[in-house]
Structures are given as structure tokens and as C-alpha cells.
Amino acid sequence: MSSSRLPIVTVSELGTHVGEAVSLRGWVYNHRSSGKIQFIILRDGTGFVQGVAAAGEAPDEVLETARTLTLETAVRMDGKVRKDSRAPGGYEIAVTGLEVVSRSSDYPITLKEHGVEFLMDHRHLWIRTPRQQSLLRLRAELVRALRDFLDDRGFVLVDSPILTPAACEGTTTLFQTDYFGERAYLSQSGQLYQEAAALALGRTYCFGPTFRAEKSKTRRHLIEFWMLEPEMAFVDLEESMRLQEEMVTYAVRRLLERRADDFKTLKRDTSALERVKPPFPRITYDEAVELVNRKGVPMEWGEDFGAPHETAISEEFDLPVFVHHYPSAVKAFYMKPDPDRPETCLSADLLAPEGYGEIIGGGQRIDDLETLEKRIAEHDLPAEAYRWYVDLRRYGSVPHSGFGLGLERTLAWVAKVDHVRETIPFPRLLHRIYP
Ligand code: 4AD
Ligand code: MG
């Protein structure tokens, strides 16, 4: 039994214990019997392994316990590790001990197909399935890769606040809350605070949840999502784009290197990802407008792209593509006007291939006091709430740039999943805050 002093190992460690008796702990992912043999698929978070208990070989009490197993019952399982190329994962356990930690009855998620609303209602259990586990692991590695990239290049993590008195990305998508009698909002972006941080530390970033009360019900929109926001003093738009393409390439390579099994579970053909490397193509907003019109997705100069436009643009490239120099009118108040063509601004969005849309939005910020004050007034923003931000143009203002990478959209592209609801552990969507 598991009270024995066998080494406790995880499924991922089985390869170094072939021929040895070990103890595993986990949950029953599936269970079936075939004649005199009981098969138990155990999952422990690191992988899946098949336990085999054969009459005549396994102790009687093991066979008896095995017969009573139900989906997601928590167990301790002892046995000898055998190599078996036919078994999922390549190993099998000849079960010699089996102990129920806690029983599960009528587990709602069975191995048959379920509708997506049902799965979303059971997200707390859905994450136990192989595909969702792989997505969560990829997400964790993606975060690690992005942070390693920045940390290794001298960026300092400076956390931006979540509760803020001012809007960053326009006033139409704000979640408002009462802050002891004052009006406060959930952060739409940590950018403004990163601008203060970059003037203190040179190169900084924040990574945290951001909130948009957007009435959008698309496969790219979450109400709460995670954004990585680097900000750099003395850096222009061009240099910022170079950093973005290097960062995205680094992260994609890291996932290919470290998470190949997860791509396999997801059946993601990674050949397109293998080709990701700088430089990414760059087109101007003007060229993009011309392109979509030529492709029969009409729009006028001065409008923002919708999802069909973004898809039409990205279809033309097999790498992520930068679209830069948008009209100032479709961008946020802080975007620096292009000195040569002030109706456009020094902004760039990065659109992912395969129709995944914008994964990064960024640009060079207005660095002179007068233009910034004018913009804040034009956008009808309350001057008082931006007083500290405007201060930054008073005390040693410099050219500076930054960008925000949306984690869920980036992962949706890399993992090739249809909807961002599967790329965040517990999605908040229009009309969904449960579980
Ligand atoms: O383009 P956005 O709105 O840019 C900013 O917020 C800037 N202040 C960032 C900066 O310069 N520091 O958002 C940046 C990215 C988008 O490209 C997208 O990937 C993601 O955040 N994003 C969303 N992801 C999921 N659901 C939503 N509703 C999103 N809105 C933006
Ligand atoms: Mg954007």
C-alpha cells in the first residue's frame, strides 16, 4: 500500500524509474476493465499514465478497489514502472497498491463531447482535461519567456496600480467603482504609470490584469485580460518595433523548445511557428487601407480596422505584420503625431498571422507639454486626474515609446485555438463572470 516507503514520483519523472517500484498520486482520468485486467488511467498534472492490475498478478484488494473506481476519484497508486511503447506516454504501471484518497461521484465532464456553454459553466473542472492543461502550461511558459526576455535586457518590473483615477484607453470602456466617495476605475492599461517608471529607471514593464467594459462578443475580446507593457526612455517607434519582433520570436522559440508535447496534445502544426523570425513585415496604415479595399473588404481612410480588415491584412503575410502610422483620430490621446504628417501618429500595431488579429498595440508617446495638454483637452479628459502624468513633460521629458502585448490573443495564435476564452484560466466575457 501507499503507506509503504516507495519513492513518490510524478508521471513526468517515470522515465528515470523504469524497473522500479514507485508511488504515484493523482486522479482517475479513465477506467475500464477488459476480462480479468483493470486499466486505470491516472493523471497527476504532469502527465497521464496507465496502471494495469491483472487478476493473478495484482493483490486481491487492489483488484477490488480498482473495480469501484469512478472518474476523478483521487488515489494513491503504487506499482512497478514498465516501458511500453503502446501505452500513452510510453510507460505503464503494474499496480501493486491502490488507495482511494477521496471518491468522486457523477463527474459531470465525461469523455464524450460537450457543448461549449456547458464546458464554460464547468470551467473549474474543464481545466483538468489534457487540452486545457496544455493551454495553461503554454500560457505559463509564455509568461516566463516574455519576462525572461525583458529581464535579461535590463528592463525592471514596475507594477502599475489596478485602481486608477484616470482612463488610458478612452472613456467608453471603463469599469467604474466608488473609491471612498471618489470615482475610480479598473485599469485599462498600466501604460501611463510605466511612462513615469521609465523616466525613473530607463526601461521598465508591467504585467497584470487589465479591464475593458467592452460590449464586444467576439472570439478576440475578454473583459479581463493580461497585458505585458514595456516602456522605454530615449527609444523611438522604430526601435520599439525591433524589440517587439525580437521578443515575439524569442517567446515562440522558447515554447517550441520547451513545450513540444503540449503542441502535440493540441495538434498544433508548428511549421509556421518555426519560421517566425525578424524582421517582421511592416506596412503603413495607408498601404493597409489600400490592401483591404483591393481585397474586397471596403473601408475609408480614417476608419479603424475591424476584425475582417485585420484578417484580410494578415492573410497576405506568413509572419506577424506591423501596421504603423495610423490616423491620430483612431488612436489614444497620448500618441505622438508624426512631425512630417501630423494627422497620422507614431503608432504601430502587430497583427498575428492566420487571422488572430492585433496582438500588440503601441507607439511613441507625446513628449512635449503643450501638445499633451491640448490632446487631453480635445479628448475631454479631466485635467486634474492627469496632472501627475502631465508633470512628466515638465521635468526632463524625453522621446519614449512602449507597447502592450495581449497575452491571451498571443497564446490563441501560438496555440491556434479559435477563441480567447480557452487561453485564460477563468475567462470574464460579456455576460459571463461564473465560475
Ligand atoms: O491596443 P491596446 O488597447 O493598447 C494599450 O492598452 C496600450 N496602452 C498599451 C501600451 O502601449 N502600453 O491593447 C494592447 C493589446 C492589444 O493589442 C490586444 O492584444 C490586447 O491588448 N487587448 C485585448 N485582449 C483581449 N481582450 C480585449 N478586450 C483586449 N483589448 C486589448
Ligand atoms: Mg489596440
pLDDT in tens, 208-251: 999 999 998 999 999 999 999 999 999 999 999 999 999 999 99
Q: Judge if the beta carbon of residue 222 lies within 6 A of ligand 1.
A: yes
Give yes or no: residues 143 and 98 share one domain: no
Which atom of ligand 1 sits closest to the CA of residue 358?
17
Q: Do 182 and 76 reside in the same domain of the chain?
A: no
91 Cα–ligand 1 center, Å = 44
Exposed/middle/buried for residue 110 (C-beta within 10 Å: 0-12, 13-18, 19+): exposed
> Would 434 be classed as within a structural domain?
no
In a domain? residue 109: no
Whether 402 is in the pocket of ligand 1, judged by its Cβ within 6 Å, is: yes
Q: Which ligand is nearest to the CA of 406?
A: 1
Q: Does residue 188 contact residue 211 with C-beta atoms inside 8 Å?
A: yes
pLDDT digits (tens, 9 = 90+) for 41-90: 999 999 999 999 999 999 999 999 999 999 999 999 999 999 998 887 89
Residue 306: φ, ψ to 5°: -100, 180
Of the residues 173, 175, 189, which should be mutated to test ligand 1's pocket, given the most ligand atoms within 8 Å of the CB? 189
How far is the centre of ligand 2, averaged over its atoms, from the C-alpha of 106 (Å)?
A: 44
Using CA atoms of 281, 350, 231, 196 in order, give the dihedral in degrees to the nearest 10: 140
Are residues 55 and 145 located together in one domain of the fold?
no
Q: Are residues 419 and 316 in the same domain?
A: yes
- Number of structural domains (the chain) is 2
Closest protein CA for atom 29 of ligand 1: 221
Pick from 225, 248, 321, 421 the residue to mutate for probing ligand 1's pocket: most ligand atoms within 8 Å of its CB.
225
Degrees to nearest 5, angle at CA 248 with 245 and 253: 120
Is it true that the peptide bond before 209 is cis, omega within 30 degrees of 0? no
In which residue ranges of the chain is pLDDT below 50?
1-2
List the residue whose alpha carbon is closest to atom 24 of ligand 1. Answer: 406
Cα(209) to ligand 1 centroid in Å equals 11
* Domain range enclosing 234: 123-423
* Cis previous bond, 435, omega within 30: yes
- Residue 71 and residue 157 in one domain: no
Specify the pLDDT at position 191. Answer: 98
Q: Which residues surround ligand 2, an ion (CB under 5 A)?
A: 361
Query: Taking a C-beta distance cutoff of 8 angstroms, is the pair 39, 26 a contact?
Result: no
**What is the SS3 assignment for 373-423?**
HHHHHHCCCCHHHHHHHHHCCCCCCCCEEEEEEEHHHHHHHHHCCCCHHHC
Burial-class residue 292 by CB neighbours within 10 Å (0-12, 13-18, 19+): buried
* pLDDT of the residue at 3: 57
Ligand 1 atom closest to the Cα of residue 406 is 19
What pLDDT is attached to residue 87? 84
Domain shared by 92 and 134, yes or no: no
**Contact predicate 158/190, CB 8 Å:** no
Element at 372 (helix H, strand E): helix 369-378
pLDDT at 243: 98
225 lines ligand 1 (CB under 6 A): yes
Q: Measured in angstroms, how far is the CA atom of residue 195 from the centroid of ligand 2?
A: 18
State whether 283 and 385 are in the same domain: yes
Largest CA distance in the chain: 87
